[in-house]
Structure 1
Amino acid sequence: MEKSPEDIEQPSPAAGAEVGPSPYITGWKLAVLLLGVSIAIFLPNLEVSIVSTALVTIANDLQGFSKTGWVVVAYLVNYTGFIIIWAKLSDILTRKWSLIASLVIFIIGSAICGASQSMTMLIVFRALQGLGGAGCFSISMVVFFELIPPDKYPKYGSLLSADVALATLLGPIIGGAIADGTTWRWVFLINLPIGALAVVALGVFLPNRFPRHHDHSTPSGDNKHSLRRVDFVGTLLLVGASLLLVTGLLEATTEYSWSSALPITLFVVSAVLWVSFVAWEYFATKETWAVEPVFPFRFFPNRYWMGMLLQAFFLGVPFTMLVIALPQRFQTVNSLSALDAGVRLLPYAMLAPVGSLVSNIIFMRRRVPILLLIAGATFQVLGLALLVAEPVRESLPARLYGFEILAGFGVGITFGTLVTITPGSVEPRDLATATGAMIQFRQMGSTIGLSIGSSLLNSYLKSHLAPPVLSAAQLSALLENIRVIFTFPPELQRVTRDAFAAAFELQLKVVVGLAAALFPSILLMLRVARREGRLVPAVTGAR
């Protein structure tokens, strides 16, 4: 009988076979390496959430509130586009030196971001930071799974999920405290000493040829020949398609209108690049080609795996949108400080790691990923729907935090389950690519979702605060610096805050709709068959 991914058991040595030394690092060296890898995973995720509560302060200082979406999106576009290419490079240039190189790029990008003197400079350097962050996260995820035996994936998977969720938890608090207590530049400069610690830990204790450090045979081939296998064309097509799509979404509501020639051109060219990307990956997957595709075409017939990737995509929308939108709402509508806004986000951020931990505990005892994914989607959609139904007031009712708890708990369950079942859902040769693809789809959802959200916010404000509500000069100043609100007469302040409240409510409605798409994605993982009286995962294309 064909087995589903979660039913696959690890092979045991044949009777009488000689068991060689374990290839796994153990003891305190493993602990140090897990710390270094955890930092490399933590910092790029922290950079998504830490700016959430500091964005208003950054925009006011650099005069560019209408461009706040770009501060996050510029990071996420490269973060999304280069995740898989870094994973591929680590197969060729070794895990150790690829990971250290990405950490160094991330640290340099962070330093330059902290020194930026304009919004344009910050946006450009955030792209560099995202390039390094992509490698930090994707290679670390691969190294994490290679450091531990497969039978311990569920146990250590909770650590991995909690690491990502903890970055989401601490980011808004740290960002708010920095914005209120010192210069916002420390939002980026904080990465320098922590990142240096990870570089030292990995440089000293990670073997040069990891994970093949136990194989003392002479490696064949050379790096120049191996580099020809890297799918640079596929990567450029993916980054170009993503960048043009989010640029069109953001520019259509800032400098241009939806009917302008530039946004329409960007959307058309983006669509062409997406089609070209799929076509290129089809040919790159053929065994007659030397290129190793960033997204193997053999992924497509694997319904189970494609369902997981779609869930990662739709998970990324609420995961990032709430972290960015809620603090902005608390600061603009409820007049809270950056730190207070971060504290109000704690219920959502705290329950995400709890949900990840709970999903891994349940999975260790009873492998029911489909039920866990259904539960996670249900909690998310219910919490988000209640947030939308709650009228926006100047004061924040206590039940609002209960809705955040539901949504955060659901996000954690879904993310924790997806991470844990990834290794068993694809062929062994695709582990590095699949791990990168899982992260990539989640971040792509974050990028596109955030672009849509920023577009809706700017569009709503421009249409509902246009003259005669505000003068053209007042509206232009408001879109550059939110503090301008305090210069308005009391009645005009109320009208402006009401417009912001309605815009954020519209954002949440879109988030609910995209989060609800988790349910049809789960259906891809099911086949209508009965085995032991339960629905079982689709296994088409799975190992």
Structure 2
Amino acid sequence: MAKIADIPAVDERDVRQTRSKREIILVMVGLMITMLLAMLDNTIVGPALPTIVGDLGGLAHLSWVLTAYTLATAVSTLVWGKLGDLFGRKTAFLSAIALFLTGSALTGMAQSMGELIGFRAIQGLGAGGLIVGVMAILGELVSPRERGKYQGYMMAIMPLAMLGGPLLGGWITDNASWRWAFYVNLPLGIIALITVWLTLHSPKRTVGKVFIDWWGALTLAVWTSSLVLVCSWGGNQYAWDSWQILGLGLVAVAGFIAFITIETRVPEPLMPLHIFKNLNFSVSGGLSMIVGAAMMGTAAYLPQFQQLVQGDSATNSGLLLLPMMIPMMLTSVFIGQVVSRTGRIRIFPILGGIALTIGMLLMSQLQVDATTLNVSLFMIVIGLGVGGLMQPSSLIAQNSVSLRDMGAGMGANTFLRTIGMSLGTAIFGTIYTGRLTDHLTSSLGSAGAKFTSGGAQLPPALMDKLPDAVQQAIRAAVTSGIDGIFLAGSIAAAAGIVVALLVRDVELKGPDPAPRQEPADRDDDVDVREAEITAIQA
């Protein structure tokens, strides 16, 4: 058996004392650009996909353009987190950025659908290290109490990317080339790479021979890939009771059992299971999964209602997500500031869970004649809820692990959020498709089946060309599907309230106070003190 790396424990006080405010701000610039890259690439590709297929062909393999990226990101997240623990945050982070930029450049140069999918996987492998690297470096950079303030700025990047990605992707595709949806990463990534290289002074690890948990990484890849494929294909490409889905489910279960067994026996596990003994860390993982599911369910399916029922364009439906994104961003920043001042965090995920549950329940009551104002008001409540859960879940995770396990801990938390996004998308998609199909079949009979073939993708441009009766049936069916999604989301959000109640409110520590300087002349100090005592006694 290989020997474990000789890595000395990093004292958190020593780490923080070396950080000036100027250095933190400079490093934060690079971290925020990197976070923008990681988030933007999830959304910028969507508007370019039809043009990509028209250029490269391969419509049957279109889903793999997204699936390959998602799979590679999910699988590599824990690996990058552990590599940061072993070899240092800076080394692992810069390597992840470099790999992401390499994948971006290759993807932009792809000449076939097969090349595009393969290069997207490379890009995803690098992306897995971006978010976990940002959070781990931030956890090492500042004190527990200060993390909320700086992480609030990081969380504000997420809604910006979710909103700006589709708009930027559509504009690039219309005015330049779909290849620039990937090339745009290069200048931003190079700026982030140089900034982090020059400004981040991360504690060095002294390593000799290291043990890398390759078997853990392999079994992680197997069960994670199988689970994501079940979520992506189930109910769409294959029926849930088909042998393909059932077989993948069995592989996922067997792979998970093998992964847990390996992680309990290897000397330097990819995911140290002891971090889950901390109740707060386990709770933060549950909250992260709920946040991931809620975000994807709203952002992915609400535009269906806005375009097919309310008649908005694709660009306008992106803008109509602002009522959710802006409160999400402001709430994240606000919570970060309050936590930095008070050191208390428990109340925020509870309030966030309540707000998210109320918002989801309100959205589950949408009617065909709902106005944009109605939807916007409900989305504000959802945005407050997501912001109230997203920021605390990451903060709780950061402050529940030691610096030695910071990379693995944030990797696990990010991994759970990714799994929540995948599961939420799959479950909500199944509910939406099922209710849509049932409603159209009951309204239009067998003629309604043609509108739900191909995964219930109804082209918005088709609506105006249909008879009024058919248009009304489609609008009612889409509304029924959306209501079902948000009803299921409200159940998940209510479970989030229960999970949040388990958080133990531990006061977060602020920066260490400056050491008290000893008097220059000890004897003089003693003489003065003795004179004061004599005077008091007199």
Matching residue of 1:262: 244
Matching residue of 1:239: 221
Cα deviations across residues 482-512 of structure 1 (Å, max 9, x unaligned)? 3673596324454444433433332222222
Q: Is the 8 A contact 1:82 1:131 kept in 2?
A: yes
Distance 1:497-1:64 versus aligned 2 partners, 3 A rule = farther
Secondary structure, in 3 states, of the residue corresponding to 1:369?
coil
Cα deviations across residues 165-204 of structure 1 (Å, max 9, x unaligned)? 4333433443454456555544333212211211222234
Cα distance in structure 2, aligned partners of 1:399 and 1:150: 40
- Give the one of 514, 519, 527 matched to 2:492: 514
Cα deviations across residues 232-270 of structure 1 (Å, max 9, x unaligned)? 322332232222123123323233222221111111221
Secondary structure, in 3 states, of the residue corresponding to 2:139?
helix
Cα deviations across residues 387-408 of structure 1 (Å, max 9, x unaligned)? 1112144x64302111111111
Distance 1:419-1:326 versus aligned 2 partners, 3 A rule = same
- Give the one of 61, 68, 71 matched to 1:77: 71
Secondary structure, in 3 states, of the residue corresponding to 1:82?
helix
Matching residue of 1:24: 19
- Give the one of 139, 158, 180 matched to 1:145: 139
With 44-53 and 399-408 compared, the bigger mean Cα shift is at 44-53
Displacement of 1:351 after TM fit? 1.2
Cα deviations across residues 198-235 of structure 1 (Å, max 9, x unaligned)? 1222234434xx223xxxxxx7543xx22xx2223223
List aligned pairs for 1:49-448, cutoff 5 A.
49-51=43-45, 71-115=65-109, 122-150=116-144, 152-178=146-172, 183-207=177-201, 210-212=202-204, 220-222=206-208, 225-226=209-210, 229-284=211-266, 289=267, 292-393=268-369, 396-448=371-423
Matching residue of 2:483: 505
Larger radius of gyration: 2
Q: In structure 2, what residue type is equivalent to 1:408?
A: G
Cα distance in structure 1, aligned partners of 2:459 and 2:122: 27
With 111-120 and 306-315 compared, the bigger mean Cα shift is at 111-120
Q: In structure 2, what residue type is equivalent to 1:98?
A: A
Q: Is the 8 A contact 1:85 1:230 kept in 2?
A: no
Instruction: Note the aligned Cα RMSD (angstroms).
Output: 3.6
Q: Is the 8 A contact 2:355 2:385 kept in 1?
A: yes
TM-score by length of 2: 0.80
Gap regions ≥5 residues in structure 1: 1-10, 14-18, 213-218, 527-535, 539-543
Matching residue of 1:530: none
**Greater helix percent: which structure?**
2
List aligned pairs for 1:454-473, cutoff 5 A.
454-459=429-434, 468-470=446-448
With 169-178 and 410-419 compared, the bigger mean Cα shift is at 169-178
Matching residue of 1:531: none
Q: Is the 8 A contact 2:68 2:124 kept in 1?
A: yes
Displacement of 1:322 after TM fit? 1.4
Secondary structure, in 3 states, of the residue corresponding to 1:422?
helix
Cα distance in structure 2, aligned partners of 1:483 and 1:299: 48
With 364-373 and 329-338 compared, the bigger mean Cα shift is at 329-338
- Give the one of 452, 475, 489 matched to 2:466: 489
Distance 1:107-1:482 versus aligned 2 partners, 3 A rule = farther
Displacement of 1:119 after TM fit? 6.7
Matching residue of 2:34: 40
Cα deviations across residues 43-97 of structure 1 (Å, max 9, x unaligned)? 1112234346666777788889998765544433322222121021123343333
Secondary structure, in 3 states, of the residue corresponding to 2:311?
coil
Cα distance in structure 2, aligned partners of 1:62 and 1:21: 51
Cα distance in structure 1, aligned partners of 2:16 and 2:402: 25
Displacement of 1:523 after TM fit? 3.3
Cα distance in structure 1, aligned partners of 2:198 and 2:138: 17
Cα distance in structure 2, aligned partners of 1:26 and 1:361: 16
Cα distance in structure 2, aligned partners of 1:511 and 1:151: 32
Q: Percent identity?
A: 27
Cα distance in structure 1, aligned partners of 2:108 and 2:15: 50
Q: Is the 8 A contact 2:145 2:341 kept in 1?
A: no
Q: Is the 8 A contact 2:85 2:406 kept in 1?
A: no
Cα distance in structure 1, aligned partners of 2:228 and 2:407: 27
With 406-415 and 30-39 compared, the bigger mean Cα shift is at 30-39
Cα distance in structure 1, aligned partners of 2:242 and 2:193: 47
Cα distance in structure 1, aligned partners of 2:143 and 2:479: 50
Q: In structure 2, what residue type is equivalent to 1:364?
A: S
Cα distance in structure 2, aligned partners of 1:113 and 1:97: 24
TM-score by length of 1: 0.80
Displacement of 1:433 after TM fit? 1.5
Displacement of 1:164 after TM fit? 3.4
Displacement of 1:417 after TM fit? 1.8
Report how many aligned residue pairs link the two structures: 494
Cα distance in structure 2, aligned partners of 1:488 and 1:469: 16
Cα deviations across residues 418-453 of structure 1 (Å, max 9, x unaligned)? 233333322342222112222221121112211223
Distance 1:483-1:304 versus aligned 2 partners, 3 A rule = closer
Q: Is the 8 A contact 1:180 1:338 kept in 2?
A: no
Q: In structure 1, what residue type is equivalent to 2:239?
A: S
Q: In structure 1, what residue type is equivalent to 2:485?
A: Q
Matching residue of 1:4: none
Distance 1:121-1:477 versus aligned 2 partners, 3 A rule = farther
Cα distance in structure 2, aligned partners of 1:398 and 1:57: 33
1:523 aligns with 2:518: no
Secondary structure, in 3 states, of the residue corresponding to 2:446?
coil
Q: Is the 8 A contact 2:140 2:403 kept in 1?
A: no
Cα distance in structure 2, aligned partners of 1:278 and 1:238: 9
